[in-house]
Amino acid sequence: MIEQFTSVVFLTGFLASMIRMATPIVIVALGEMVTERSGIMNLGIEGIVWIGAFAGFATTILTGSYIWGFLVGGIVGILFGLIMSVVAVEFHGHQIVAGLGIWILCNGLSGLLNRSIFGISTERPTIVATLPTIPIPGLSNIPIIGETLFNQNIIVYLTILAVPLINFFFKEISWGLNIDAVGEQPRAADAAGLRVGVIRTLSACFGGFLAGIGGAYLPLALYSIYTNDISTGLGWMAIVVLVFGKWRPWGILGGALIFGAANALKWRLQNTDLPLPYQITLMLPYLVTLVMVIFFVRGGSGPSALAKPFVRSEN
């Protein structure tokens, strides 16, 4: 039984699957990072992942195109990012509560649309194939690493690229500086002539966009079907990873790999003949999340103005 876990085949499959599972967490967490560094906390991303997954799935079924699937998933995500920012920026609403509202709203909406578009028949439509992998010539032949890193789908490659890019954006590009300024000291940013509301709105929309893309990734690249429990807490894991990674892209990547491993292990374990009830293996990612928050994510210090509304004060 032990050899099941030590064989090269198992290890390669496990690592490749870990990367594939970590990818949507990285995408969603990077989006939430941009949102939070501008000062808005969007706890609704779990819901946005959900609706993004449905929108991406439905679009790809209807058009047969992956590109349209991801695009529509992202656009729907923008819509809900916008709702969050309107509540936060225009109405100075309570962001934790509003985020929960968006989560539950998206939950209902995707369930509703799923029922009314695809009906209740057990014959669920499926996407013929998940997003194809693109082996990188030469590199993909390296044992273990080749299969793990260089024989993946396009979204995985783009996500790996996005980490240094977003890092560069916040370090060297004026817009990145502006987002940080608005999230740390909105009053000072305002006095420096930055438009706090506009920057926060755009950041929340970008966060929604990535959450939608991350959602669309689930049916398009992983499962090829849509079910009403497709996300299994991806958005919440992204939030844990964000805090774990101290609001920095490389840290997020590291944290996401841990979750990727837990998720990959979850599926692998179910296909072995270990005498574990399936509920216990399903619990694995949640237990990992708990362990991570308990040991690594304590009282993390995010942006100073996180979740605080900004109003020009009276003096």
Radius of gyration for the chain, computed over Cα atoms and rounded to the nearest angstrom: 20
Binding of other proteins by 166 (CB under 8 A): no
| Spatial CA neighbour of 234 closest among 10, 83, 50 | 50
Residue that is written with structure tokens 């100073």 in the block? 304
In the complex, the smallest distance separating the C-beta of residue 97 from other proteins, rounded to whole angstroms, is 4
In the complex, the smallest distance separating the C-beta of residue 312 from other proteins, rounded to whole angstroms, is 6
Comparing CB distances to other proteins, the nearer of 122 and 313 is 313
In the complex, the smallest distance separating the C-beta of residue 204 from other proteins, rounded to whole angstroms, is 14
Task: Among 82, 163, 194, 269, indicate the residue that binds other proteins (CB under 8 A).
Answer: 194
Binding of other proteins by 290 (CB under 8 A): yes
Q: Which stretch binds other proteins (CB under 8 A): 53-61, 62-70, 218-226, 280-288?
A: 280-288
Residues between 218 and 247 that touch other proteins (CB under 8 A): 228, 232-233, 236, 239-240, 243
- Write down how long the chain is: 315
In the complex, the smallest distance separating the C-beta of residue 110 from other proteins, rounded to whole angstroms, is 8
Comparing CB distances to other proteins, the nearer of 150 and 236 is 236
Q: 77: which 2 tokens? A: 């995500």
Comparing CB distances to other proteins, the nearer of 152 and 289 is 289
For residues 152 and 240, what is the distance between their CA atoms, to the nearest angstrom? Answer: 25
Element (H, E) at 152: strand 151-153
Comparing CB distances to other proteins, the nearer of 6 and 298 is 298
Residues between 21 and 40 that touch other proteins (CB under 8 A): none
Binding of other proteins by 113 (CB under 8 A): yes
Task: Among 8, 158, 188, 274, indicate the residue that binds other proteins (CB under 8 A).
Answer: 188
Q: 2: which 2 tokens? A: 């032990």
The residues facing 123 across adjacent strands are none
Binding of other proteins by 105 (CB under 8 A): yes
User: 3-state DSSP call for residue 125?
Assistant: coil
Q: 8: which 2 tokens? A: 């090269």
Task: Among 174, 271, 273, 275, indicate the residue that binds other proteins (CB under 8 A).
Answer: 174
Is residue 234 within 8 Å of residue 51, measured between CB atoms?
Answer: no
Binding of other proteins by 210 (CB under 8 A): no
Q: 311: which 2 tokens? A: 């109003």
Element (H, E) at 177: helix 174-184
Residue that is written with structure tokens 């790809």 in the block? 60
